[in-house]
Amino acid sequence: MVKSLVFLRQELKATPGRSGYALRLTLTCAILIALFMSLQMPLLSVALIVAFYASRSEVHTIGLLSVAFFVLISLIIGGIVLMLKFTYDFPLLRLIISSLLFLGAMFLMRALDKLGLAFFIVALAVIFAQTFPSLTGNSEILIRMVLWLWIAINTSVLVTLLVNACFPGAYPTVQFRRQLADDLGHTAAWLRACAGEENSPSAVSPLVLAQQFTSLQTLSELALNSSAMRDAKSQWQSLLATALHCHYLAMLLSPDNINPQQKPQLLAIADQLQSLARQAERATPSADSLSNLRMLTEDGQSAVTDRLIRVIAQYRQGLPIELPEASQPKAPLLLPDAFSNPVYPRFALKTLLATLICYLFYTATDWQGIHTIMLSCVIVAQPGLGPTMQKTGLRIAGALLATLLALGLMIFVQPLVNSLAGFLVMTVPVMWLSAWLAGGSQRIAYAGIQTGFTFALAFMDWFGPLYDLSELRDRVLGILLGVVVSSLVHLYLWPESEALKLRNQMAELYRRLGNWLDADQDQREPSLVSLYRSLLETQQLLERVQAEPVLAFAYPYPQVKHWPMQHSVDLAQQIIRLGAGYHLYQLQPDPGLQQAAQQLRQYADTLGQPRQETPAVAVVSSVNPYASSLSEALSRLPGWTSAAHPAARRVIG
């Protein structure tokens, strides 16, 4: 119970950009509700779910998605209309063609990774249109319902784009300045905490650094090429490099190892960084407000402080500051293994099978109220067993929360409401709650999407609110049944576990860590960038594997529960911090550092080959003050159990 409360407190707290995202999404939902209700347009629930999926933190991505949505949805709706024209009197043929379209959309969702979300919406449209023939026997009404589906999706995309375009906070230039100011402010707060002047904020860790660098790099590529910042691009790059270097050096400081001589200097540096944070929020950065700082003698205690002073002095004097960069190959539109990897067609087949099972149950029982059962199969289906199971739990949680909210509003509030304005007052707070949840981390964002979608399905009828409690019950039951069927199919048929992928990724992380440790000075920055990228990928993959049902009978790798996954990632972060400190005092050549790097590369090789033993621990011998700590960290490299066990493969296929 206590862990749950701590988790909710952590996930519900305000983060940079979250309030703006929630405001824009809530306003989008309010406009859609008012528009659809006032003009009596059907399929409001579809419009709302598209708004949640199409909303992004910055308007540039929304614009690209809008174009993709419009083109693909127009093509697929035109295909559905033609299909209904020629197969209206042949239900089996219509089902076969719809299944093929759905199968293709789910396959392309995996194979075309950049357009995965667009093909996900296409799959939703195909499966939603398949329920229309059972609702009416009139062919003209059927075609109109399909066309209304096209209008609902594109109207939602258009409103989402226009609303976000009206907010400056949705543009990369503003987000870049705010992110830069927040990171400089966080570094300043940590320095003050090390000096004992403030309560300690969250510590600067390599994972935080990797997230900061990735976020700023992405935003800077969009912002610095815009007309608003192009003229001052060099100044912004210098400020960005200063922020990254200062954050990197702050990682080496701790309140426990600061001597009294350093505290005044740390406070002065923190004031300078706070001034830079204020500069970052301006149209053009300037170093005029910075003052000269006195450096301490490098006695082993003040080397980090003096390095911070040097970086700020370089920025104040207008000297070039090296910006960490590394060439990253541009991801292709079509994945290289799109037609050779059997995982992609298997994923599409599994999702199609779950959907057809639900469709068979839906038509055999003639239970019109549970038409949400097939939509749940599509929404829950995600690449990888971990994300599927994780989203299953979040969808159930979101559905139950939305049901309770809808039930409470229907019983206590709706009898007092008799106008559109009152209806908006009643529903907008629920949309805001859903948007706030959707703006959180991946561990809770999906629950927000499902809360908004389920509330729209359960509470908002075609042209007004829902009054029949039995319909509310049926729609929620449809969602829950679809979640259960989809989860079972994905678990027992070709379970797509990412356990072995995590092991290989962990080996790659330690290999890059070794290459970074003994890299030449001119290659250290590019190696660090690739190390950041590998650390982020490993952490994300770890979170997905942790969500996999390792205790299930059909799980192919039950020994995963004994793997030291989190310990390995935490230890890698510690070695990164110690290696960064080691570099400050490194002597050329340094056999101790080369010995440590070789140890990590050997460990990475054995990690990727389960049948080999972990190599003996290398002893780092050096006068470097970080040598003993680095040697101790290397002695704690964990062993991993075998990754393959024939008895564990109790799966179909």
Closest to 134 in 3D by CA, of 359, 357, 462: 359
Residue 57 has phi, psi (to 5 degrees) of: -70, -25
Q: For residues 351 and 344, is the Cβ–Cβ distance under 8 A?
A: no
437 and 522 fall within a common domain? no
Confirm if 624 and 585 have CB atoms less than 8 A apart: yes
**pLDDT reported for residue 626:** 81
d(Cα 346, Cα 272) in Å, to the nearest integer? 56
Mean pLDDT of 173-199: 87
pLDDT tier for residue 644 given thresholds of 50, 70 and 90: very low
**Rounded distance, CA 321 to CA 412, Å?**
62
297 vs 73, more confident: 73
Please state the domain count of the chain: 3
How much helix, strand and coil, in percent to the nearest 5, is found in the chain? 70, 0, 30
Cα distance between residue 360 and residue 355, in whole Å:
9
- Which residues fall within 8 angstroms of residue 113, CB to CB, at 6 or more apart? 331, 335
Residues 156, 22 share a domain: yes
Please tell me whether residues 556 and 526 are part of one structural domain: yes
Write out the residue range of the structural domain in which residue 636 sits.
Answer: 499-648
Mean pLDDT value across residues 499-512: 92
Task: Give a yes or no: residue 1 inside a domain.
Answer: no
Residue 119 shares a structural domain with residue 248: no
In a shared domain, residues 223 and 304: yes
pLDDT band at 22 (very low <50, low <70, confident <90, very high): very high
Alpha carbon separation from 563 to 344, 610, 643, 653 (Å, rounded): 27, 12, 9, 26
- Is residue 608 within 8 A of residue 525, CB to CB? The reply is no
Q: What is the pLDDT of residue 4?
A: 73
Q: For residue range 364-418, list pLDDT tens digits in order.
A: 888 888 888 888 888 888 888 888 888 888 888 888 898 899 889 888 888 888 8
**Inside any domain, residue 133:** yes
Decide: 493 and 420 in contact? Cβ < 8 Å.
Answer: no
| pTM of this structure | 0.86
Least confident of 235-249, 276-290, 300-314, 328-342: 276-290
Q: Which of 445, 466, 492 is the last residue of a domain?
A: 492
Asked whether residue 10 is domain-assigned, the answer is no
Listed range (7-21, 230-244, 388-402, 457-471) with the worst mean pLDDT: 457-471
Residue 3 maps to a domain: no
How far is C-alpha 149 from the geometric centre of its chain's CA atoms?
29
Are the beta carbons of 389 and 547 closer than 8 angstroms?
yes
Report whether 447 contacts 392 (CB < 8 A).
no
Q: Are residues 358 and 442 both part of a single domain? A: yes
Is residue 458 domain-shared with residue 599, that is, in the same domain?
A: no
Q: Is the pLDDT of residue 28 over 90?
A: yes
Quickly state the pLDDT bin for 32 (edges 50, 70, 90): very high
Do 521 and 629 reside in the same domain of the chain? yes
Question: Do 444 and 337 form a contact (C-beta atoms < 8 A)?
Answer: no
Q: What angle do CA 425, 430, 434 make, to 5 degrees?
A: 145
Higher pLDDT, 60 or 468: 60
pLDDT score of 140 more than 90 = no
Q: Is 239 left (phi over 0), alpha (psi -120 to 50) or beta?
A: alpha
- Per-residue pLDDT at 154: 94
Lowest mean pLDDT among 292-296, 367-371, 501-505, 612-616: 612-616
Same structural domain, 157 and 24: yes
Task: Give the whole-angstrom CA distance, residue 312 versus residue 318.
Answer: 10
Residue 237: Cβ-neighbour burial (10 angstroms; 0-12, 13-18, 19+): middle
| Whether pLDDT at 300 is above 50 | no
Structure tokens of 370?
């549970």
pLDDT in the model for residue 294: 61
pLDDT of residue 234: 85
Question: From CA 260, how far away is CA 636, in angstroms rounded?
Answer: 33
What pLDDT is stored for residue 91 in this prediction? 86
- Do 150 and 189 share a domain, yes or no? no
Is pLDDT above 70 for 329? no
- Span 486-492, mean pLDDT? 89
Give pLDDT, residue 646: 37
Least confident of 90-99, 347-356, 384-393, 464-473: 464-473
Say if residues 426 and 33 touch (Cβ distance below 8 Å).
no
For the cut 70, the answer to whether the pLDDT of residue 651 exceeds it is no
Question: Can you tell me which residue has the tokens 């799959």?
Answer: 123
Question: Residues 471, 503: one domain?
Answer: no
Going by the DSSP 8-state scheme, the letter that residue 322 receives in this structure is: P
Average per-residue pLDDT for the chain: 84
Measured between alpha carbons, how far is 568 from 44 in angstroms, rounded to an integer? 47
Residue found by looking up tokens 């003052």 in the block? 291
| 188-192, 210-214, 390-394: segment of lowest average pLDDT | 390-394
Beta carbons of 611 and 644 less than 8 angstroms apart: no
Average pLDDT over residues 309-316: 86
Q: Which residue has the higher pLDDT, 374 or 623?
A: 374
How many other CB atoms sit within 10 Å of the CB of residue 82?
11
In a domain, 438, yes or no: yes
Let me know whether 310 and 279 are in one domain. Answer: yes
Q: Is the peptide bond before 345 cis (omega within 30 degrees of 0)?
A: no
pLDDT of residue 590: 74
Report pLDDT for 295: 56
Least confident of 236-245, 293-302, 333-342, 593-602: 293-302
- With tokens 């002695």, the residue in question is 635
Q: What is the mean pLDDT of residues 254-282?
A: 83
Q: How many CA atoms lie within 13 A of 543 on its CB side?
A: 12
Mean pLDDT of 439-444: 84
Q: Is residue 8 part of a domain?
A: no
* pLDDT tens per residue, range 520-543: 777 777 788 889 999 999 999 999
Question: End of a domain among 475, 492, 509?
Answer: 492
Is 554 a domain residue?
yes
Cα 81–Cα 84–Cα 86 angle in degrees, nearest 5? 115
- Residue 507: pLDDT band (50, 70, 90) is very high
Q: What pLDDT, on the 0 to 100 scale, is given for residue 643?
A: 42
pLDDT band for position 652 (50/70/90)?
very low
Query: Does pLDDT of 454 surpass 60?
Result: yes
Contact 431, 481 (CB under 8 A): no
Query: Within a 13 Å sphere around the CA of 576, how many CA atoms are in the beta-carbon half?
Result: 30
Quick check: is 644 in a domain? yes
CA distances from 45 to 23, 37, 169, 180, 359 (A): 19, 12, 27, 38, 20
Which of 492, 521, 543 finishes a domain?
492
- DSSP conformation letters of 199-214: ---S---HHHHHHHHH
pLDDT at 653: 36
Q: Which residues pair with residue 460 across a beta bridge?
A: 465
Q: What local confidence, expressed as pLDDT, does residue 157 receive?
A: 95
